[in-house]
């Protein structure tokens, strides 16, 4: 008699090789509702951005630069215990999402619309816990498979230059933040302080290849520019500021 070294199919332990995982492949995620193009703005980009800054970053001087939002820098944006810069929700929804690809939206946890929720006391506690948790380097993700490292971005300031960080939307508060290692050191060198009114702009230069020929070289990294209103100079300005 031949003894086969196999197990009957129903003897496979739960969670074994035949377990069906309740996950979707990334390309099965429905594309987001087609967002409208970013609304036109009559805001004026500081002259330094095209004249000095974009070329210094290795980018085209005529790159589209999108106005995202105006905000007052809060204590939490510069607080050592918070360690993140918050981008106003309205600007994210109306402008920022419109310039990102589905993969980029996914990386930033912005792919799906989130229904507005009333913040209850318990939720506020959760938000605080999440914000505190964001500061702990070795924090375990709450749910397995839902790690929000975020989308790679560069936070840009006209005085301090550019710093590579991550952008992500938190599930609980729906806040979209720029955060990451070195955030606080960078922000301390930036030109804005608590209480300053700043404009948030965004730009990215994608790599474009047509018929095997590079027509535009770019690393496609989203740049989030924070400009203090009426800031006349940047770190690339010549000693004598250019005429306004």
Q: Does residue 235 bind Zn ion (CB under 5 A)?
A: no
- CA dist 11 and 33 (Å) reads 45
Q: Does residue 54 bind Zn ion (CB under 5 A)?
A: no
Q: Does residue 52 bind Zn ion (CB under 5 A)?
A: yes
Q: Which of 100, 170, 96 is nearest to 130 (CA)?
A: 170
Number of residues that bind Zn ion (CB under 5 A): 4
The nearest distance, CB 48 to Zn ion, in angstroms, is 3
Which residue of 29, 45, 127, 237 would you call a contact of Zn ion, by CB under 5 A?
Answer: 237
Q: Does residue 165 bind Zn ion (CB under 5 A)?
A: no
* E strand or H helix that includes residue 131: helix 121-133
Q: Does residue 163 bind Zn ion (CB under 5 A)?
A: no
Please list, in sequence order, all residues whose beta carbon lies within 8 angstroms of the beta carbon of residue 102, skipping any fewer than 6 positions away: 29, 31, 32, 111
Q: Does residue 98 bind Zn ion (CB under 5 A)?
A: no
Q: Does residue 225 bind Zn ion (CB under 5 A)?
A: no
- CA–CA distances in Å: residue 121 to residues 16, 118, 133, 172: 41, 10, 18, 12
Q: Does residue 234 bind Zn ion (CB under 5 A)?
A: yes
Q: Give the binding site for Zn ion (CB under 5 A).
A: 48, 52, 234, 237
């Amino acid at each position: 008699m031949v003894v086969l070294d196999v197990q009957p199919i129903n003897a496979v332990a739960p969670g074994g090789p035949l377990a069906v995982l309740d996950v979707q492949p990334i390309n099965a995620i429905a594309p987001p509702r087609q967002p409208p193009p970013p609304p036109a703005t009559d805001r004026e980009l500081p002259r330094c951005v095209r004249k000095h800054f974009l070329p210094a970053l290795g980018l085209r001087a005529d790159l589209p630069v999108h106005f995202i939002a105006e905000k007052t820098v809060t204590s939490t944006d510069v607080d050592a215990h918070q360690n993140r810069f918050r981008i106003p929700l309205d600007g994210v929804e109306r402008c920022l999402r419109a310039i990102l690809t589905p993969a980029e939206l996914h990386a930033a946890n912005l792919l799906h619309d989130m229904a507005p929720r009333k913040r209850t006391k318990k939720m506020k506690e959760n938000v605080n816990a999440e914000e505190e948790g964001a500061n702990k380097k070795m924090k375990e993700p709450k749910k397995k498979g839902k790690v929000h490292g975020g989308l790679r971005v560069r936070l840009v300031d006209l005085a301090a230059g550019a710093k590579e960080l991550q952008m992500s939307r938190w599930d609980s508060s729906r806040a979209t933040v720029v955060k990451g290692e070195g955030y606080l050191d960078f922000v301390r060198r930036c030109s804005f302080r608590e209480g300053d009114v700043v404009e948030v702009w965004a730009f990215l230069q994608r790599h474009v290849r047509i018929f095997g020929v590079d027509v535009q070289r770019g690393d496609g990294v989203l740049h989030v520019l924070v400009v203090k209103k009426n800031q006349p100079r940047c770190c690339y300005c010549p000693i004598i500021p250019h005429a306004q």
